[in-house]
Structure 1
Amino acid sequence: MDDGTQYPIGELARRTGLTVKKIRFYSDRGIVTPADRTPAGYRRYGPQAVVRLAVVRTLRELGLGLDVIRRVTNQELTLAQVAAEHAAALNVQISVLRLRQAVLTTAARREPTFEEMERMHQLATLSRTERRRLISEFLDAIFDDGHVMSGRAAVRRSMTPELPDSPTQEQVEAWVELAELSLDPGFRDAMRGLVADHVADLPDGVGTPPRPDVFAVTRERAAAAVSSGISPDSPQADPVVATLTAECALAVGRADDAQLQDWLLHRLESANGARKDRYFHLLAVINDWPAPEPLAPLTDWSVQALRARAAR
C-alpha cells in the first residue's frame, strides 16, 4: 500500500541492490517510473518501485528480455504465461547444449580426426526422422525379408534404439557411439550372422512354442563355472561342457555328438565379440532398459572349453 513515502534514486539503489545507472536505465525504458520529481528535476520513487525492481531483477536473472519484463510489470502478460514460454525455450536450449556436451565429451575421450568430429556432430544433431531412417537402414542390412515375413519383427524391435525427446547426456553419448557402430560394415556383417543364428531358433509358425535359447543355456552354465574359478581347459570343466552340450542338444532337438559340438562352437564363435556386447549395452542406455549382462566373457569361456574338449 502506498503511504506517500518517496525515495531518491540513491536510496532506491541501496534498497534494491541495483546501481543508480541501472535504475535510470529501467526508468528510461518505462519499466519503473518515478512517482514524482523535485523542483530541481530529481526523480522520486514510491514504495511500489522497490517491489517492481525486485521483480525486474529476478526476471533478468532468469534470462527474460526487457520488453517481456516491461509487459509483465505493466500487467500485459501474466507471470505464468511468461514462465511457460520461457521454460519451453530453455528446454530447446538445454537440448542443444546437451548434444554439444555429448559430442565434446566423446571427442575428449577419443582424440578424433576433424572428419570423425564432424561425423559425431552430425549424428548427435539428427532429427527424430533422420535417426529412425539411419537405424532402419542398419536393421534392413542385418535382417533379410524372410526374417520379417516369418514373424521375426519382435527381434528387430528389441534391437531398435529410441532416443527420448529429452535425453540425458549419457543417452546422447550412447546414441552417437551406437550410430557409429551401425555404420561400420564389419560390425554389420557380424550382426547379420548373429541375427541369422538367433532367428533360426525361433518357432516357424504361429502357435509354435519357442525352443530354449542355446545362448541362455550357455550363459547359465558358463556363469556358474566362471564364478567357481574353473579353468576352461581343466578337467573340472569337462562335466560343465557335458551338461552344456546335453542341454543344447535337447534345446535344438539334435543328438549330443561331435557334430552338435562343432555346431555349438560355430554358433558361439559367431555370437562372440565385445562390440556386440557394446551395442546391447548402448541400446539399454538409450532405451532406459536394465543393463544387460556382458556375454563375451562367458562365451569366451565356453568356446575355450569346447575347443579343449575337442582336442583331447
Structure 2
Amino acid sequence: MNELYPIGDVARRTGLSVSAIRFYADEGVVTPTGLTEGGFRQYDVHAIARLELVRTLRDLGASLDDIRQVLAAETTLHDLAATHLRLVEGQLRQFRARRAVLRTIVRQHTTTEQVSLIHKLVSMSDDDRDRLINQFWDFVTEGLDVHPSYPDRLHSQRPRLPEEPSTEQLEAWIELAEIVQDEEFRTAVRDFFRRAFGTEKGKLMATPEMMARAERHRKLLLEARAAQQAGVPADSRQARDIAERVAADAAEFTAALTGEHDPDRARRGIVEFDRNGKAAQWRAKSTGLKLLTRYQSLLATINGTPKPDPDQATAVREWMAAALS
C-alpha cells in the first residue's frame, strides 16, 4: 500500500515550509497525491522525492519553468545542470574580478578616478593584455643594441591568466598592468637593460649561444635547489657531485664570455659565497633590477609559476659552498 503523508510531515522530510509546498502545488509543479475527507493535502513518497528535487534545483538557481520541464521530462537534469553550471561559473568569474578590484581599492586607498581604470584592467581581454605588455617591452627594448632574438625573449615574458583566475592572480594582474604603464617604472627598467647590455660583453650575453648556456646553468641550479630542499646533506657525495657540475659549467660559461677557462676560480666563487657580498650589495642598489624582479614576481603569481626568491637562492648557494668545502 502506498502510504500518504500529511503536509506537515512532508515539510519536515523535505525541509520546505508548508507554505512553499502549497505554493508548488498551486503552481502545478508538484501536486498532492490525494486529499483527506476534510480537504487536507497528502503526498506519497514519490511526490516527496519530487519536492526534494524541487528544493535542490531552486537552491541551485533553477526557475519554476526549468523545474517543470525537468519533472515533465521535457529536458534532462544533465542539460539543466550544464546550463546552470555555465551561469554559475560566469558569476564566479565576475565575483572574483569584483573582489580583486575591491581588495585593491582597500589596500591602495584608491581614488575615485582610479576605480574605473582598475575595473577596466581586470576586465581586459587576452588580446588587450598582450597589446599592453607588447607596448611595455617595445618601450624597454627600443634602441637596445643586441641580437634580435633577445628582445623577442623579453616579449615572451607575459601574463597568461587562466580561464578561472584566483583573486590573487587578478590582483597581481592589476598591479602588473599599472606598473608597466608607469613612466618611472618603464624608464628605470629600460635604463637597466641599456647599462647591462651596453658593453661588448653585455652584447655577447644576449646572443642565442649564451642564452642557451645560461638556460643550461639555470637547470643545474634548479637541480641543486631540488636536492637542497629535499634535505640532501651538504656533506654527501650527491651534493658534492651537483656542486662540482655547477662549478664546471660556470667555468665554461665564463670561458665562452671572456676566453678564460679557470675551474678553480669558479669553485672558489661558490665556496667563498657570502650572503652580504658584492652581489647582494649590487642587487640592493640596482633600482632597475629590483623593479624587474617585481615584474617577474607578479608574472609568476599570474601564471602560477615559482616566484623569484633571493633568500632561497642564497640557501642553495650556501649549501653548494658547504658541499665543496
Structure-1-length-normalised TM-score: 0.69
- The alpha-carbon distance between structure 1 residues 102 and 81, as it changes in their structure 2 partners (threshold 3 A), is same
Listed as ranges, the matches of 1:113-128 within 5 Å are 113-128=111-126
Residues 75-132 of structure 1 show CA distances to partners (whole Å, capped at 9, x for unaligned) of: 2222222222211211111111001111111111111111122221111111222222
Q: 2:182 aligns with which of 163, 173, 184?
A: 184
Matched, 1:287 2:285: no
- The alpha-carbon distance between structure 1 residues 81 and 147, as it changes in their structure 2 partners (threshold 3 A), is farther
Corresponding residue number in structure 2 for 1:92: 90
> 2:185 is matched by which residue type in structure 1?
F
Listed as ranges, the matches of 1:89-238 within 5 Å are 89-144=87-142, 150-196=148-194, 197-198=196-197, 200-202=203-205, 204=207, 208-210=209-211
Name the SS of the counterpart of 2:149 in structure 1: coil
Residues 247-304 of structure 1 show CA distances to partners (whole Å, capped at 9, x for unaligned) of: 998664399xxxxxxxxx9999666453322111001111111111349x99xxxxxx
- The alpha-carbon distance between structure 1 residues 33 and 149, as it changes in their structure 2 partners (threshold 3 A), is farther
> 1:274 is matched by which residue type in structure 2?
K
Residues 198-222 of structure 1 show CA distances to partners (whole Å, capped at 9, x for unaligned) of: 5734455x7x454976xx99xx9xx
Residues 50-95 of structure 1 show CA distances to partners (whole Å, capped at 9, x for unaligned) of: 1111111122222222221222222222222222221121111111
In structure 2, what is the Cα distance between the partners aligned to 1:202 and 1:154? Answer: 15
Corresponding residue number in structure 1 for 2:74: 76
Name the SS of the counterpart of 2:136 in structure 1: helix
In structure 1, what is the Cα distance between the partners aligned to 2:140 and 2:10? Answer: 71
In structure 1, what is the Cα distance between the partners aligned to 2:146 and 2:135? Answer: 14
- The alpha-carbon distance between structure 1 residues 50 and 249, as it changes in their structure 2 partners (threshold 3 A), is closer
- The alpha-carbon distance between structure 1 residues 157 and 48, as it changes in their structure 2 partners (threshold 3 A), is same
Is the Cα contact below 8 Å between 1:201 and 1:210 reproduced in 2?
no
Output the aligned Cα RMSD: 3.5
Is the Cα contact below 8 Å between 2:204 and 2:257 reproduced in 1?
yes
> 1:283 is matched by which residue type in structure 2?
L
- The alpha-carbon distance between structure 1 residues 111 and 268, as it changes in their structure 2 partners (threshold 3 A), is closer
The answer for unaligned runs of 5 or more in structure 1 is: 221-245, 256-264, 299-312
> 1:17 is matched by which residue type in structure 2?
G
Q: 1:278 aligns with which of 294, 298, 309?
A: 294
In structure 2, what is the Cα distance between the partners aligned to 1:84 and 1:248? Answer: 56
- The alpha-carbon distance between structure 1 residues 47 and 270, as it changes in their structure 2 partners (threshold 3 A), is closer
- The alpha-carbon distance between structure 1 residues 97 and 30, as it changes in their structure 2 partners (threshold 3 A), is same
Is the Cα contact below 8 Å between 1:202 and 1:211 reproduced in 2?
no
> 1:286 is matched by which residue type in structure 2?
I
Q: 2:30 aligns with which of 24, 29, 32?
A: 32
Residues 11-57 of structure 1 show CA distances to partners (whole Å, capped at 9, x for unaligned) of: 32233222111001111222101223345544332221111111111
Name the SS of the counterpart of 2:99 in structure 1: helix
In structure 1, what is the Cα distance between the partners aligned to 2:154 and 2:191? Answer: 14
Is the Cα contact below 8 Å between 1:124 and 1:175 reproduced in 2?
yes
> 1:253 is matched by which residue type in structure 2?
T
Corresponding residue number in structure 1 for 2:258: 253
- The alpha-carbon distance between structure 1 residues 122 and 252, as it changes in their structure 2 partners (threshold 3 A), is same
Is the Cα contact below 8 Å between 2:146 and 2:203 reproduced in 1?
no
